[in-house]
Amino acid sequence: MRLLLFNTATKRLFTSCCFPADQAARAISMVHSPSTELRVAVLYQACDPPVVNGVRKPKKPGGYQDSGADIAYVLASRQDVRVISAERSPDPRRDEGWCFPDTESGIRAAIERGANILWANTILFASHPLQTSSALDKYTAEVRVVGQPPRFVEQYDDKNYVNDFLRKHGGFSMPRSWTLNSTSSLSLETLPYPIVAKPIRGRGSHGVKVCRNPPDLSAHLSALFKESPIAMLEEYLCGQEATVTVMPPSEDHPDYYALPLVVRFNHEDGIAPYNGVVAVTANSRVLTPHEEARNPRYQETSKECEDVARLLRVTAPIRIDVRQFTEATASKFAIFDVNMKPNMTGPGRPGRENQASLTAMAAGALGWDYSELLVRMLKSARKLQDLRQMDI
C-alpha cells in the first residue's frame, strides 16, 4: 500500500512506498514513551580514528567539544530533557566539562550516571567502543543513540566509495572523479582544469583545493600524500553551491525528508571556507520558499538528496553538498560531498550567538530554533543494539 503523507514542515507530499509499513511502525516507536524521562549525555571525540586502507581521517582539535557543549547547554534549558554532564556544574563559557569522552570508560560513566540516550557527537567507525565494547553489552537494549551505525560511518567516510556506490545505483547527478596515489601513472596534463583535489577521508574543507594547472595540482598532491597515500580528484563545478540537510525517519516522520536548501557564497579560491575560520552565517543563507519554488533544480536536488539518505539507510541527519555544473540558472546540481556528521554548533551559550551551523540555519527556515532541532533529532534516536546490528 502506498501511504500519502503531508509533511507540514516542508509543505510537500511524499509517499512511504520506499519505507515499508513495518519499518514505519518501528520508526514511530523509536523513542521512549512520553512517560520515560529523557536523560541525555553528549559524547565528544577522544578516540583516534583508525587507519582504514592506509588512510586516517583527521581528528578535529577539541574533538567537537564546542558543538557538544552547545547541544548539552541548550537541551539542559528544556523542561522535558535532563542533561547529564561530565562535570557537575560546567561553565557555559567553556567547551570542556559538558560532554563525556567517547572511550569505553567515558561511555560507561555516562550510562552509570543515568543516561538513557547517548548523543554521539563524534566520528564513529567499526571498531569504536559503541560498536565493539563488551562492557556495554548489558546496556544495548535500553540505551539509545543519536548517531549513525558505526560500521556505516567507516565505509561512507570514504568519499570514493560513496561516489562509486551512488553511480552503481544510478539516477544521481555527480561530477567526474579520479583517485590516485604517489605511484599512479595518470598524466596530470590530460585532466580537465580547473580541478579539485582533496583527501579521500577528509574533514570539512581540510586539504581541499582548486588547482588551476598541472604544476599547481602536482604541488598540492605532494602535500596531500604526506597525510594520506590516496587522494581524490574531482571535476570543478563552477555554479551555485548549496547544502541540503536530510533528516532521518522518526516518530514524527516515517520517511527521510530534506530541510530547506542553504546556498553558499563568498568562496575562497573556489572553495567554501572552513566554518572554524569563517562563520557560516557570514557566507550562507537559506532560500526563501518563493526562491525554492521558482527554480525546479532546487526541488530536484532536494529529492536526490533524500534518495541518497534512503539508499545509505542513515539513522541521523546527514548534510549533502551540491553545486551546479555551470553558472546558468537551469544547470543541474551535482552531489559532490556526503557528510555523515554535519556540524552541529548552535546559539545559546554566552558568546556563541553567531555559531549557527548550516543545519541549524536550514531548520530555522521551518520555524525551528536550535532547541527544537535538537529535540527532533532526539526523536530519531535508535537502540544501540539496533545500530550494532546494521551492516552495509
pLDDT tens-digit map of 210-255: 999 999 999 999 999 998 899 999 999 999 999 999 999 998 899 9
What topology is assigned to 177-235 in CATH? Answer: Dna Ligase; domain 1 (3.30.1490)
End-to-end CA distance of the chain: 27
In the numeric block, the cell 560513566 is attached to 109
How many other C-beta atoms are found inside a 10 Å radius of the C-beta of residue 53? 12
pLDDT at 35: 55
Average pLDDT value over all residues in the chain: 90
pLDDT digits (tens, 9 = 90+) for 94-140: 999 999 999 999 999 999 999 999 999 999 999 999 999 999 999 99
pLDDT digits (tens, 9 = 90+) for 244-290: 999 999 988 999 999 999 999 988 888 887 666 677 888 899 999 99
Decide: helix, strand or coil at residue 277.
Answer: coil
Q: CATH 3.30.470.20 residue ranges in the chain?
A: 156-172+237-368
For residue 134, what is its C-alpha cell? Answer: 563488551
Q: How far is CA 113 from the centre of its chain?
A: 28
How many other C-beta atoms are found inside a 10 Å radius of the C-beta of residue 58? 16
pTM: predicted TM-score of the whole model, two decimal places: 0.89
d(CA 353, CA 282): 13
For residue 85, the one-letter residue type is: S
Q: CATH 3.30.1490.20 residue ranges in the chain?
A: 177-235
Homologous superfamily, domain 156-172+237-368: ATP-grasp fold, B domain (3.30.470.20)
pLDDT at 266: 85
Q: How many helices (H) and strands (E) does the chain have?
A: 12, 20
